[in-house]
Structures are given as C-alpha cells and as structure tokens.
Amino acid sequence: MRYWPPILIAAALLIFSCAAEDPSVPSGGDQTEVRRFYPEKGILHDLAFLSWDAEKIREASEADMIIFPVACCFSPDALDIIAELKRLNPHTVILGKHTILGVNPLWPDTNRLKLTRPYEIDYYETVEDDWSYTTAGDTLMLWSDIIFLKPVINGELNRPLITDLLDLMQQYQIEFGNVLDGVVYDYLMHSLYINYAIRDRVEGEPDLDSDGIPFEDDPDEAGYLIEWQREYINEMRNRFGDDFILVANGPLPQNNAEIAGLLNGLFFEAFPNNNRGYTDREGLLRLLRFQEEGYLRKARGRTWTIVTNNDGGQNNLFCCIASMLAGCFYTELHGSSAFEGWTLDITAGTPRGEYTMEGDIDGVLWVKRRFSRGEARISFIQIGARWIVKFEEDSML
C-alpha cells in the first residue's frame, strides 16, 4: 500500500467533500449537457491504450464517452494520451471500468507493474484480506482470473472495504488531476454462480459469510450482496459529487428501479440480447423503457447509457440505430472489447421529437424517430427478430 502524507489526504478529503456538498463546484468537468448530435459515439476499450499513435487518438476523439480500465487511466503513461483526447474533443468524458467486488491476481512482474499500473498493485494490497471463500474453503472465483471479495464480515456489512476502496480511488484522482469523469461498474448482481469455464478449478459453492451454507440456500447473503453494492454506490456519490458519472453493467439495475435510480447510465455489453434469451424486439423495448424519464439519474444534464455488441457488422448497425431511437451512446466492436476504428457513416443531426411505434408490440412492429437529416427505423417480424435496420436520409425518402 502506498504511503500518503497526512496533509495530502486531508487536502483530498477537503476538495472532494466540497465538490459533493456544493453543487456550484464541478466534480469532473463542465456541468452543462454535452452535444446532442446523433448518432452519439462511445468507445469501449477494455485493454491498455498506452501504445496508441496520433491517428488512433484522433479517431477515438470523435467519441464523447470513452471507457478504459481504471488501472490504465491511473497510469503515468496515460496522462498525455487522455489530455490529447480532451484537447481534440473537450466534450469527451473518460470513464474507468472496474470489477465491483473483484480483484485480479497479480502479474509475476510486479516491479514493472509498480511503474506502469501502480493502482493495480495498490488495489490488490488493499483487498488482500477481503477475499471470499467457498463452502470447501477454496478461494471463490466466479470468473477466470477474478477473485471475489467479501461483502459481509463477522455477520455485518463489510463497510471498511467500501471505505478502503474509495479512499484509494480518491487519492489517485487527486494525484492524477481528476483524470476520471466517472466509472463503469462491471457488474452489479443479485446472485452468484461459478462460471462453467472454471467450475472444475473451484471446489465447493459460494459462501460469502463463511457459515457453511451455500449462497443459494442463504437469503441473508443475497441481502448483504445487494446492500453492499447499494452502499458502495451511495458512498461514491457522496465522495465524488453529483456530476461524477456512474454507469453499471449487470442484471441488478435492470431489474431493480431503486438501484437504477442511483446510477446515470446502463452498460449493455451484448445488446440487444445480453445472453439472456431476449428477442431483438424485447431487447430494444427494454432499452427504451430503461431510458425513460425518471428511471436513471442524470449527471451533467443527461443520462449515459451505452450499447455494444462484439459480433460486429449488422450488430454494430443495430446498436447504432437503437441508440438513436433511445437517445444514448453506441460503440463499434469487431470481435473484441477493443476500439479498432469507425466503419459506420451516419450523420443524423438533431432529433425532431421522440421515437414512435407502429404496429403490434407483440408482433410486427416498427420503431421510428425523426432527425434533422432523416429518419432512424427498426422493424421486427412477428417472432421478434429484426427485419429492417437503417437510417434513411431525407433525400432518399
């Protein structure tokens, strides 16, 4: 764990407490609403970006939302790249993606890590006494290379973990000049399961309170899991202020309006189906519902939902047109969680009203929205599959 001089910690706490209490103090940038020209571009680059050249930075600067791993943002090598992105596009917000209640095992070369990604080492050392275990006493891993942390300790909510994690992020924000405009939680959950890909490497079942009763048979554990996530979000809001953008992946905010009301956006990594068996029509209708007024909390005058799909091609187009209908961001991916440039060439301009629907919500359905340069449309056949996905310029109508 790093040593932070008391005077620096005191200054950090004073600055952030003022930002949270005084709405006139920005907590991460201009409080006015960003540009609303459609489609609105976002970027998910879930890898290091420290080798990006000038052309890649220029391409990336077309986006008003850019999501990088937190540990990469808190890297000395990232400061010049992020500064250039914001110089090229002052509207760009930088969101740091991190695993909630999870930590990665350290790389063998920790000396290099201290220089290139110091936050990753400090984070690991901060939580090394807060791992969760299974009913068999094995380290609890829900996914490959992610150790799950303990939301409950000695029969009580593990609040010290919340304090330690946010102290660490707050200190890095001060040291790195408020480089983050917000975070993306990956992901908010109401239940646990051990992924089938690592099932043979983990003995026993999840047991967050170490009482020998598996999570799925212990309703207290589910309560602690949800409550810890709620308290973590609330405390982050208190620390970083109303304009610090909080976005989350996962089923909890999609199924819990109270949790969603604490957030500023949702992150859909496999839209429109999210690997949960939705039809394309159901996926779009869910997105539209989640973007309705009052579901999410606004930051900087708007909400910050983003839709992605790493299958590329027509899925990128579907994400783009769906984002225009819903009033949110899209990104282009082509087989990985990495930004590789733009392929779609759509300039819709500004909206001329909200979306409209024609047809049967359970059958053949059209969803449309007018823009200053044309109309965005998606249609579905009776079984819920997509049929027509396009933006048609006025000259073509």
Question: Residue 297: inside a domain, yes or no?
Answer: yes
Residue pLDDT, tens place only, 344-384: 999 999 999 999 999 999 999 999 999 999 999 999 999 99
Point out the least confidently predicted range of 50-59, 112-121, 258-267.
Answer: 112-121
Decide if 126 is inside a domain.
yes
Query: What's the token pair of residue 332?
Result: 């282009």
Query: How far is 315 from 332, CA to CA, in rounded Å?
Result: 9
Is 363 a domain residue? no
Query: Is residue 163, in this structure, part of any structural domain at all?
Result: yes
CATH code at 132?
3.20.20.80
111 is in which domain, residue-wise?
37-345
pLDDT in tens, 141-189: 998 889 999 999 999 999 999 999 999 999 999 999 999 999 999 989 9
Given the structure tokens 């109508």, which residue do they identify? 397
Task: Tell me if 372 is assigned to some domain.
Answer: no
Evaluate whether residue 246 is within a structural domain. yes
pTM (two decimals)? 0.89
Does the pLDDT at position 397 exceed 70? no
Is residue 78, in this structure, part of any structural domain at all?
Answer: yes
Is residue 384 one of the residues assigned to a domain? Answer: no
Cβ–Cβ < 8 Å for 263, 303: no
CA geometry: angle at 267 spanning 304 and 186, to 5°? Answer: 120
DSSP string, 133-158: EETTSPBPEEETTEEEB-SEETTEE-
Look at the chain and report how many structural domains it folds into: 1
